[in-house]
């Protein structure tokens, strides 16, 4: 485990999930970086070179048991999404099925999410951006089955808007449903961990490449400044630059 009191203080309230498709690194992520779960999606799987969705997913789910894993449907209508959701759900008891808040035509998937929750399926409602979408999800979840609402905070920030407002709104909206966790998704930088914690989020997803940077939380800036200069100096020497 990382010995970092500043990080430990944050992670007493905020759970870190790894967002990726790298099975080989999962053991280190769990043991060293406080990771409490995993999420993935077709885009991350494609970037990782995954060619067989089911084969990868089944292996991944078994490898990290009992930690939760969110796996996403990729159909584009509610009938096919439901079929895929039921298949995916059958691959392991630690699975949350990711259902997008809408399909590619902008048709809301609230009714499907509600139906699957009634069938006691753990759902991760994903690609949530707006307060209206958050409101529409409120009645989808019962009070017993665990569920996740993934607010795409990083992409909201990409528009120049502060995502903390919508995350706080979701946390407040679902405060009477303790089985529903609010997830800060599409993390861009380590500071997002601080923001997610301040906003009251229960979970933050971080891609594999960013996980090691968590050890920098609370680092002395004077020390960091010197470390940066040392890095620049060493890189110049190793490159044998001359002026």
* Residue 186 DSSP SS3: coil
CB 183 within 8 A of CB 151: yes
239 is a domain residue: no
Q: How far apart are CA 114 and CA 138, in angstroms?
A: 10
223 is a domain residue: no
242 is a domain residue: no
CA angle 42, 147, 217 (to 5 degrees): 75
The predicted structure's pLDDT at residue 71? 98
Q: Which domain holds residue 179?
A: 5-217
The answer for residues whose C-beta is within 8 angstroms of residue 122's C-beta and 6 or more apart is 68, 89, 95, 96, 97, 145, 146, 147
CATH code for the domain of 15: 3.20.20.70
Reading the chain (243 residues) residue by residue, the pLDDT tens digits are: 566 777 777 777 899 999 999 998 888 888 888 799 999 999 999 999 999 999 999 999 999 999 999 999 999 999 999 999 999 999 999 999 999 999 999 999 999 999 999 999 999 999 999 999 999 999 999 878 999 999 999 999 999 999 999 999 999 999 999 999 999 999 999 999 999 999 999 999 999 889 889 888 888 999 999 999 999 999 999 999 999
Burial-class residue 173 by CB neighbours within 10 Å (0-12, 13-18, 19+). Answer: middle
43 is a domain residue: yes
Enter the pTM of the model.
0.93
DSSP one-letter string for 84-130: HHHHHHTT-TTEEEEEESB-TT--B-HHHHHHHHHTT--EEEEEE-S
CB 26 within 8 A of CB 38: yes
Closest CA to 76 of 98, 104, 54, 97: 104
Q: What is the CA radius of gyration of the chain?
A: 19
222 is a domain residue: no
Q: Give the count of domains, the chain.
A: 1
Q: How far apart are CA 93 and CA 102, in angstroms?
A: 25
229 is a domain residue: no
Q: How far apart are CA 147 and CA 124, in angstroms?
A: 6
The predicted structure's pLDDT at residue 3? 67
């Amino acid at each position: 485990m990382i010995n970092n009191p500043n990080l430990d203080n944050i992670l007493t309230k905020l759970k870190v999930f790894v967002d990726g498709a790298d099975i080989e690194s999962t053991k280190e992520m769990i043991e060293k970086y406080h990771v409490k779960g995993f999420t993935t999606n077709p885009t991350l799987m494609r970037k990782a070179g995954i060619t067989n969705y089911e084969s990868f997913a089944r292996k991944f789910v078994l490898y990290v048991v009992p930690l939760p894993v969110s796996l996403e449907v990729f159909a584009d209508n509610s009938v096919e999404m439901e079929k895929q959701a039921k298949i995916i759900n059958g691959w392991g008891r630690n699975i949350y099925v990711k259902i997008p808040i809408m399909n590619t035509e902008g048709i809301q998937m609230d009714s499907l999410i509600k139906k699957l929750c009634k069938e006691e399926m753990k759902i991760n409602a994903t690609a949530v951006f707006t307060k209206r979408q958050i409101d529409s999800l409120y009645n989808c979840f019962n009070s017993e089955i665990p569920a996740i609402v993934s607010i795409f905070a990083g992409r909201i920030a990409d528009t120049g808007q502060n995502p903390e407002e919508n995350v706080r709104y979701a946390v407040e909206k679902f405060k009477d449903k303790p089985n529903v966790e609010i997830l800060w998704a599409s993390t861009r930088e380590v500071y997002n961990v601080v923001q997610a914690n301040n906003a009251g989020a229960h979970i933050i997803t971080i891609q594999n490449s960013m996980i090691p940077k968590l050890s920098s939380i609370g680092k002395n800036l004077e020390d960091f400044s010197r470390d940066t200069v040392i890095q620049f100096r060493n890189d110049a020497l190793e490159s044998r630059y001359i002026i």
